[in-house]
């Protein structure tokens, strides 16, 4: 079979792909951290779809979680043997974030609507499009009688939206993946489908508690103003961090590390009290050149200086941390294979880049497994009125089909 024939085979299944995606999105799949019941119902839908499609090698790996009604967090792996021993994995996720402000939606978030060539619904972009695109890319090979060049594994994981504990991290302990495997984690992308992410910044969420001494606002000398101490520390910390960690890397946008004050908690209901406690948070995205322990050590040094300056106690702790994983080489096999398939479908020459957010590729890179991040998306994830373009859904399925087929199509 020729590549153009395989592309046409994928395109001919457009209506089927669209309806399967819409059916899946009707099944809520929100994790317990966000008030949901987990991914079990969506996994049941997909297991039924996979049986209907005729896939023979389908495995269900369940992580125990007493916080969901089923007690389990499901992970599904679909496998199809190729003509070479090399393994290619596509890792997408089953869970979504909640719908948020329902009044902001123009159509029901869990009854996906088609308008102007787009599918609107919660989870359409994040991560339904790529789950269905990878599934139908592989299914098109089966229906066309094409054997994949490499062994293909489609991995549908739980718990991506809240840390991967019951998903990727759970599966990595099962000895399923190994060095030499190739991984695509399509949970980030750009609108033209030409960008492949090969590295992420390190991420640190920092909690800061400033403890002073509460007093009446008319007698501030009798207390220690925690809000003022927090403000002074906040500005000094941000200014200092930006000067102490100044490197830039053109792969990223923005190219430098970012150090941003974000969340700030209320410190009391009334105006006429000097607050004795103030809590706020930082969000840091740090270039791979630096380790997060270096950043924290600098921050604690500034905190110690401001304790002496203000008399307040400043407690600085990690809320969450994820050091940057090793970069996947721009000349790696997975980047070359993916680039070739993208160019054959999109007619564009892909480029590599780095991102500031965490992705499903990071845990694999830490294990020494080459991983790339790619998809073609309108960048509406987590928004009200989240949507995808049907044309992108089909085109990405074509990319996966050609990627899987490799040398086995002309």
Catalytic residue among 65, 95, 99, 386: 95
**How many angstroms separate the CA atoms of 339 and 145, rounded?**
24
Residue 206 near residue 317 (C-beta atoms within 8 A): yes
Q: Three-class SS of residue 61?
A: strand
Q: Three-class SS of residue 407?
A: helix
**How many angstroms separate the CA atoms of 217 and 275, rounded?**
9
Rounded to a whole number of angstroms, the distance between the first and last alpha carbons of the chain is 6
Q: Active-site residue 95, yes or no?
A: yes
Sign of CA dihedral 177, 71, 133, 14: positive
Return the closest-CA partner of residue 160 out of 354, 307, 30: 30
**How many angstroms separate the CA atoms of 109 and 210, rounded?**
41
CB atoms inside a 10 Å sphere around CB 135 = 26
Beta bridge mates, 211: 277, 313
Query: What distances in angstroms separate CA 359 from CA 92, 164, 272, 281, 302, one per listed residue?
Result: 11, 10, 45, 22, 31
CA angle 293, 158, 168 (to 5 degrees): 45
Catalytic residue among 99, 126, 130, 160: 160
Beta bridge mates, 113: 120
Beta bridge mates, 278: 210
C-alpha torsion 19→21→23→24, nearest 10: 160
Q: Active-site residue 160, yes or no?
A: yes
Active site residues: 95, 160
């Amino acid at each position: 079979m020729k590549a153009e024939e395989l592309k046409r085979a994928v395109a001919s299944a457009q209506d089927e792909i669209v309806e399967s995606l819409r059916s899946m999105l009707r099944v809520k799949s929100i994790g317990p951290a966000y008030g949901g019941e987990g991914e079990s119902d969506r996994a049941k839908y997909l297991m039924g779809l996979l049986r209907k499609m005729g896939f023979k090698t389908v495995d269900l790996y369940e992580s125990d979680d007493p916080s969901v009604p089923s007690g389990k967090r499901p992970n599904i792996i679909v496998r199809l043997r190729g003509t070479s021993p090399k393994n290619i994995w596509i890792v997408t996720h089953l869970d979504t974030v909640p719908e948020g402000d329902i009044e902001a939606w123009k159509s029901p978030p869990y009854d996906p609507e088609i308008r102007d060539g787009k599918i609107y619904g919660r989870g359409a972009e994040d991560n339904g499009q790529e789950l269905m695109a990878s599934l139908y890319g592989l299914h098109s090979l089966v229906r066309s009688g094409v054997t994949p060049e490499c062994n293909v594994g489609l991995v549908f994981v739980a718990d991506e939206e809240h840390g991967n504990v019951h998903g990727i991290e759970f599966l990595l302990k099962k000895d399923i993946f190994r060095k030499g495997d190739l991984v695509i984690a399509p949970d980030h992308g750009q609108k033209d489908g030409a960008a492949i992410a090969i590295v992420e910044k390190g991420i640190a969420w920092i909690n800061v508690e400033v403890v002073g001494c509460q007093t009446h606002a008319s007698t501030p000398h009798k207390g220690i103003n925690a809000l003022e101490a927090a403000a002074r520390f906040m500005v000094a910390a941000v200014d200092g961090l930006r000067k102490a960690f100044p490197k830039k890397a053109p792969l990223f946008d923005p190219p430098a590390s970012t150090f941003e004050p974000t969340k700030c908690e209320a410190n009391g209901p009334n105006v006429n009290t000097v607050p004795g406690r103030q809590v706020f948070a930082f969000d840091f995205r740090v270039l791979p050149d630096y380790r997060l322990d270096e950043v924290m050590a600098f921050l604690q040094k500034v905190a110690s200086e401001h304790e002496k300056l203000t008399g307040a106690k400043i407690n600085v702790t990690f809320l969450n941390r994820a050091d940057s994983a090793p970069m996947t080489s721009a000349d790696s096999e997975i980047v070359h294979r993916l680039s070739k398939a993208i160019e054959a479908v999109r007619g564009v020459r892909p480029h590599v880049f780095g991102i500031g957010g965490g992705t499903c590729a990071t845990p694999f890179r830490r294990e020494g497994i080459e991983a790339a991040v790619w998809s073609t998306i309108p960048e509406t994830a987590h928004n009200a009125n989240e949507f995808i373009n049907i044309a992108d859904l089909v085109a990405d399925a074509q990319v996966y089909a050609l990627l899987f087929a490799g040398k086995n199509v002309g």
